[in-house]
């Protein structure tokens, strides 16, 4: 009996090709993850968001606008340097009778969200009220503007909406974007 009868020289080449393709794929995935992490860290360093600290705010006049802005404050660090703006907005969520009031802190160049706060809301109990949780609000920290729902194809830094509370979540996303647009239009020195 011939021992070479079951050996196919093409199978050895196919196995080697498969192994090489697998190794190259793994290298590409690891390199992509590393590159993404590096780019995100460089963006944060560029914006200096890790050391962003507001010591005092002072109110400034709100210009007539189409961004639903109700109040603006300059944000200063402990040395008295302008570091950003706190922009208050009103937006409509699920409860159309009572607007959601937000405060969004953006960098002085208007490119990044430093943080958000929900000042007032009367959204649905157990669902919409979760826009006030730290889990939801912390998603906005250090995000490049504009922000967008992770469930859409819109361009922007992605944030997750609250399940079964998309109207309330999207209202907050719109408020943050309105604050960013107001900053770029009226506050950022060009």
* pLDDT at 35 (0 to 100): 73
| Predicted pLDDT at 9 | 64
Spatial neighbors of 47 by CB under 8 A, at least 6 apart, are 107, 109, 111, 112, 142
76 φ, ψ (degrees, to nearest 5):
-115, 145
- Total number of domains in the chain: 2
In a domain, 144, yes or no: yes
Residues of the chain with pLDDT under 70: 1-10, 37-51, 190
Provide the pLDDT for residue 29: 86
Position 140 scores a pLDDT of 94
Does residue 129 belong to any structural domain of this protein? Answer: yes
Q: Do 37 and 80 belong together in one domain?
A: no
pLDDT of residue 139: 93
User: Which domain does 28 fall in, by range?
Assistant: 10-47
Residues 38 and 127 in one domain: no
The phi and psi torsions of 26 (rounded to 5 degrees) equal -65, -45
Assigned domain for 1 exists: no
Write down the pLDDT at residue 48. Answer: 57
Reference 99, options 181, 152, 178, 154; nearest CA is 178
Q: What is the model's pLDDT at position 45? A: 47
The two beta strands, 147-149 and 157-159, are parallel
Question: Is 37 part of any domain?
Answer: yes
Shared domain for 114 and 160, answered yes or no, is yes
């Amino acid at each position: 009996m011939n021992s070479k009868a079951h050996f196919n020289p093409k199978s050895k080449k196919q196995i080697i090709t498969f192994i090489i393709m697998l190794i190259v794929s793994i290298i590409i995935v690891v390199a992509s993850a590393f590159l993404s992490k590096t780019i995100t860290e460089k963006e944060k360093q560029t914006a200096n968001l890790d050391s962003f600290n507001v010591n005092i705010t002072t109110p400034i006049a709100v210009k007539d606008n189409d961004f639903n802005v109700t109040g603006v404050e300059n944000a200063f660090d402990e040395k008295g340097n302008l570091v950003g703006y706190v922009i208050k907005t009103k937006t409509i969520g699920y409860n159309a009778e009572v607007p959601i009031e937000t405060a969004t802190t953006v960098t002085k160049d208007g490119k990044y969200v430093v943080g958000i706060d929900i000042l007032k809301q009367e959204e649905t109990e157990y669902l919409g009220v979760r826009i006030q949780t730290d889990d939801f609000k912390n998603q906005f920290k250090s995000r490049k503007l504009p922000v967008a729902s992770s469930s859409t194809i819109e361009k922007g830094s992605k944030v997750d909406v609250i399940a079964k509370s998309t109207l309330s979540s999207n209202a907050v996303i719109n408020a943050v974007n309105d604050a960013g647009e107001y900053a770029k239009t009226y506050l950022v020195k060009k």
